Amino acid sequence: MSKPMDLSRRTFLVGSAAALLPVAAARGQGPSLPKTITIHVGFPAGGPADTTARLIAEKLREITGSSVVVLNRPGAGGTLAAAAVAQMEPDGANLLLVSSGHAGAPALYPNLKFDSQRDFTPIVALAQSPVIILVRKDSPYRSVEELMAEMRAKPAVLKFATGGGGATLTSLGALLLRAQLGYDALAVAYRGTGPANIDLMGGVIDFSFDTVSGAIGLLQSGDVRGLAVTSKTRAAAIPDVPTIAETVKPDFDVTGWFGLLGPARMPAALVTRLNEDLNRVVLAPEFRARLVTLGIDVMGGTPEAFGALIASETIRWGKLIRELDLQPQ
């Protein structure tokens, strides 16, 4: 994946965030924030995006004194909420929590009523959760190398679930890995990771792809085992699970992320104030520890770094979506 800088995404963003903190303390609190800030979430309540938004809202409320509320507006892969926020005033009162799917939206939904980059102001990358390859607890495959060797020895025999169908991160990660490694397995489309993992545990399929945050409960209970994660570095929640990059495909990196955007043309001083406050939230040790228990790693960083991440991911996933002619589910 093309990266904003030569450093890894996580190292660069967190390092940038750490550098911001003394600056914030030195210059004071900056411009006033709105009395009420609404974080719009384009996904249902209870999922990783919603959970992240609510944890952020709670801590941001404590730091700023503003009333911070979360408004769920699910539908069309998060694009309904994005379309609404794109039309709002750039005064900081309305922010949009986006996932990595925001980068694939232009290719997946060619008739969007907004531009996924020009119509928004990047504020900060919040958190990330990689994709993980799962097998059932009694699977004969003890490593991703063994799994890949079996697929090459027995083409089109093993079955896997991509967990969500269409152009979800888990689907894209699975298809990209298959394209780069050239293994031959049968893809079984599921509309959600829940049904896919039920069939995985029942032996209907041989392996599946899920986010670490989505699979953390099953991993902790021992109902499934993780063979490898797709991020460049290991996930803090499951440090014993190796990466794809250190096992079968150097430099492979697929990571789901969450971040905050505002409408386009937000004042620079307001963006800086929000960015610094949000970095204080995500880099606090207790907040980082809380997210790790959910299978999520913090990010943080500058608005420019987040904008560069969105731009590079838009190119990467747009190309794959168009090549595979993927359709929304």
Q: pLDDT by residue (tens digit) across 41-55?
A: 998 888 888 999 999
For 257-285, how does the pLDDT look when each residue is reduced to its tens digit (9 = 90+)? 999 999 999 999 999 999 999 999 999 99
CATH value at residue 122: 3.40.190.150
Q: Are residues 137 and 276 both part of a single domain? A: no
H-helix or E-strand spanning residue 258? strand 255-263
Are residues 14 and 125 located together in one domain of the fold?
A: yes
Q: Are 197 and 278 found together in one domain? A: no
Q: Residue 1: inside a domain, yes or no?
A: no
Cα 71 to the center of its chain, rounded Å: 19
Per-residue pLDDT band for 254 (boundaries 50, 70, 90) equals very high
pLDDT of residue 21: 47
Q: Are residues 80 and 168 in the same domain?
A: no
Whether 155 is covered by a domain: the verdict is yes
> Does a structural domain hold residue 3?
no
Residues 95 and 181 in one domain: no
Residue 236 lies in a domain: no
Domain assignment present for residue 121? The answer is: yes
Q: Are residues 86 and 42 in the same domain?
A: yes
Residues 114 and 259 in one domain: yes
Say whether both 124 and 198 belong to one domain: no
**Structural domains in the chain (count):** 2
Residue 23 domain-assigned?
yes
Our CA angle for 211, 213, 214, nearest 5°, is 65
User: Would you state the pLDDT for residue 5?
Assistant: 37
- Domain with 167, as residue range(s), is 131-229
- Residue 18 and residue 283 in contact, taking contact as beta carbons nearer than 8 Å: yes
User: What CATH number did the domain enclosing 211 receive?
Assistant: 3.40.190.10
pLDDT of residue 171: 82
Same domain flag for 292 and 157 = no
Please report which helix (H) or strand (E) contains residue 13, including its range: helix 9-27
Considering only CA atoms, give the Rg of the chain: 20
Percent of the chain surpassing pLDDT 90: 71
Write out pLDDT tens, residues 211-251.
Answer: 899 899 999 999 999 999 999 999 999 999 999 999 999 99
Is residue 161 assigned to a domain? yes
Answer yes or no: do 32 and 67 share one domain: yes
The fraction of the chain above a pLDDT of 70, given in percent, is 89
Rounded distance between C-alpha atoms, residue 234 and residue 195, angstroms: 26
Q: Report pTM.
A: 0.83
